[in-house]
Structures are given as structure tokens and as C-alpha cells.
């Protein structure tokens, strides 16, 4: 009961927009007290001005909209919160081990904190290399804050969500831009490692998202992951008449 009162207290402090909506109930259901304290710290720093609605919920993370401030200007934010108690994080291991940037003699909770830091650093590296990714803002413990991709608090669709509507776009230009971004990412010493139509948003241009599992090119499985990414993209775009040879495409990326 005491924790419930504390949760209600932190929910009040976070200035959740539309307090009478179902969003407040979702916050209370999916966020534990430790995470609410983390969000409050980010709010106290002025990064989060007001929390908004749920963008996406999943087994490993929930994403919320927020109004925020970054470098002195107002900005729409996506607040990605990894679940500390999730049972799915054993799947992280193959993407973490082999990454020289981190020490892995850690507990499960610390692993989630490391994963959050890893996604932030991957986003930062990609963004600095001019890859189309959400601009990273900051991170703390299991909370990652980045630029919101979308309009009027509605997130941009993924390629999977666009489906057949992609045929109305310049499909070849879209494919070519995705390939160029894969190449830019590789030149920044990163491989996405989970790229598909589900992890590319479209908002006037394609944006790579979900960068937590991205690995450095010296990771022992980096080439396997790169080939899988390319196969996924080729498979998806083959539905729209785009055909490219996998080996030629791979050679173009790594040369």
C-alpha cells in the first residue's frame, strides 16, 4: 500500500498530460517505483516537461511521448523505458558479449542499465555519422530519451505499418536511401543487427530505430548480422520490384 501511495505521488509530480485518461493507469501498471523516481529526476533537470501518452508497449520496453527541452529549445521526445523485471533480457547476451565498450561481470538489473547506455551510445555514434536516426538526448538507468519521430504526438509509421502504401512512394529512392544509411552506419563502425521493415520508420525519409542491439564491426558476429540485415531489406523490397544481388550489396557496404 505504501508503494502504491508513492507511485501516485510520483505520477502527480510528473505532470502527466490528460490526467483523467487511461494513460495514467498504464503508467501505474507498467512502471515500478524505481523507474518513476528516475523519470522524476529527469523531470527535475528540466529535460522532461510533461509526460504524454503511450507510443508503444512491448515485452522489453515501453515508449511514451513527452514534451521536453533540449539545448534551450522545446522538443517532442520519445521516452523509452526498459522493464527492469522483464524475463526477456537473456536475448541481449549475444549482442553485449564481444562489445569491448562494456564490462559484463554484472547483475541482470545492471545488464538492463548497460543496454540502455549501449543504445544511447549507438544512437549518438549513428547520429554523428549523419545516419537517419532519432536524435539522442540523454539516458539514466533504464530510461532512454530521444527525439520523437512523428507529428501531433502520433508516431511515424514503420515500413511494415505502411505496407502496400509504399508503392505510392518513390520505392527505388527509398531503398537506395536505406542502403546509404546502412553504409554510413558501417563507416561509423556499427552494424544495426536487427534491421527490417519493423525497425525503420518513415517520416518524409526513413529512420532506423531500436539501436540497442547494434554492434561494432569488430564484434565476432558483425558480418553475420550485416548479411541478415541486408537479406531482410532485400526480402521486403522484392515485393515492390526491387532486386539486388546480396553479395554485391554487401561488398558495396563494406568497401
Mark whether 161 and 105 lie in a shared domain: no
Q: Are residues 175 and 143 in the same domain?
A: no
Same domain (yes/no): 147, 37? yes
pLDDT band at 2 (very low <50, low <70, confident <90, very high): very low
Active site residue 210: yes
The domain boundary, picked from 124, 151, 178, lies at: 151
pLDDT in the model for residue 132: 98
Q: Looking at the predicted structure, is the pLDDT value of residue 119 above 90? A: yes
What's the CATH code of the domain at 36?
A: 3.30.200.20
**pLDDT interval class at 89 (50, 70, 90):** low
What pLDDT is attached to residue 3? 55
Task: Count the domains in the chain.
Answer: 2
Looking at the fold, whether 137 and 37 belong to one and the same domain comes out as: yes
Closest to 196 measured CA to CA, from 227, 160, 172: 160
C-alpha cell at 205: 525519409
Residues 124 and 216 in one domain: no
* Residue pair 52/67 in contact by the 8 Å Cβ criterion: yes
Domain with 219, as residue range(s), is 156-254
Given the residues 20, 93, 194, 229, the one annotated as active site = 194
Q: Does the structure show a pLDDT above 90 at 194?
A: yes
Give pLDDT, residue 145.
98
- Do 110 and 203 share a domain, yes or no? no
Of the residues 189, 210, 218, 255, only one is catalytic, namely 210
pLDDT above 80: residue 26: no
The rounded distance, in Å, linking the Cα atoms of 77 and 125 is: 19
Domain boundary among 125, 151, 177: 151
Instruction: Please tell me whether residues 58 and 137 are part of one structural domain.
Output: yes
Are 10 and 107 in a shared domain? Answer: yes
Mutual orientation of helices 246-254 and 222-238 as an angle, nearest 10°?
A: 130
Q: What's the CATH number where 170 sits?
A: 1.10.510.10
For residue 230, pLDDT beyond 80: yes
Q: What is the pTM of this model?
A: 0.89
Where b means 16+ CB within 10 Å and e means fewer, 73-101 reads eebbbbbbbbbbeeeebeebeebbebbee
> Which of 97, 132, 151 is the endpoint of a domain?
151
| Whole-angstrom distance, CA of residue 154 vs CA of residue 201 | 12
Asked whether residue 226 falls in the same domain as residue 136, the answer is no
**Is 194 a known active-site residue?**
yes
In a shared domain, residues 131 and 146: yes
Q: Is the same domain home to 145 and 245?
A: no
Running DSSP on this structure, what letter comes out for residue 47? S
My answer on whether 96 and 191 are in the same domain is no
Q: Per-residue pLDDT for 71 more than 80? A: yes
Amino acid at each position: 500500500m505504501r508503494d502504491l501511495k508513492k507511485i501516485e505521488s510520483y505520477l502527480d509530480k510528473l505532470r502527466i498530460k490528460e490526467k483523467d485518461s487511461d494513460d495514467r493507469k498504464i503508467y501505474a501498471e507498467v512502471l515500478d517505483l524505481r523507474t518513476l523516481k528516475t523519470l522524476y529526476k529527469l523531470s527535475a533537470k528540466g529535460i522532461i516537461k510533461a509526460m504524454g501518452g503511450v507510443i508503444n508497449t512491448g515485452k522489453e520496453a515501453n515508449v511514451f511521448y513527452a514534451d521536453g527541452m533540449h539545448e534551450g529549445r522545446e522538443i517532442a521526445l520519445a521516452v523509452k523505458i526498459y522493464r527492469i523485471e522483464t524475463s526477456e533480457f537473456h536475448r541481449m547476451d549475444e549482442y553485449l558479449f564481444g562489445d569491448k565498450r562494456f564490462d559484463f561481470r554484472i547483475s541482470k538489473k545492471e545488464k538492463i542499465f548497460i543496454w540502455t547506455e549501449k543504445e544511447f551510445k549507438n544512437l549518438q555514434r549513428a547520429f554523428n555519422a549523419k545516419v537517419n536516426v532519432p536524435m539522442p538526448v540523454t539516458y539514466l538507468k533504464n530510461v532512454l530519451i530521444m527525439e520523437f519521430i512523428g507529428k501531433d504526438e502520433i508516431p511515424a509509421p514503420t515500413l511494415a505499418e505502411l505496407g502496400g502504401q509504399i508503392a505510392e512512394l518513390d520505392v527505388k529512392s527509398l531503398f537506395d536511401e536505406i542502403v546509404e544509411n546502412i553504409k554510413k552506419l558501417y563507416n561509423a563502425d556499427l552494424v544495426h543487427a536487427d534491421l527490417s521493415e519493423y525497425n525503420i520508420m518513415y517520416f518524409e525519409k526513413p529512420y532506423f530505430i531500436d539501436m540497442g542491439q547494434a554492434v561494432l564491426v569488430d564484434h565476432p558476429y558483425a558480418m553475420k548480422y550485416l548479411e541478415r540485415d541486408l537479406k531482410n531489406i532485400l526480402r521486403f523490397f522484392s515485393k515492390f520490384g526491387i532486386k539486388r544481388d546480396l553479395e554485391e550489396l554487401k561488398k558495396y557496404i563494406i568497401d
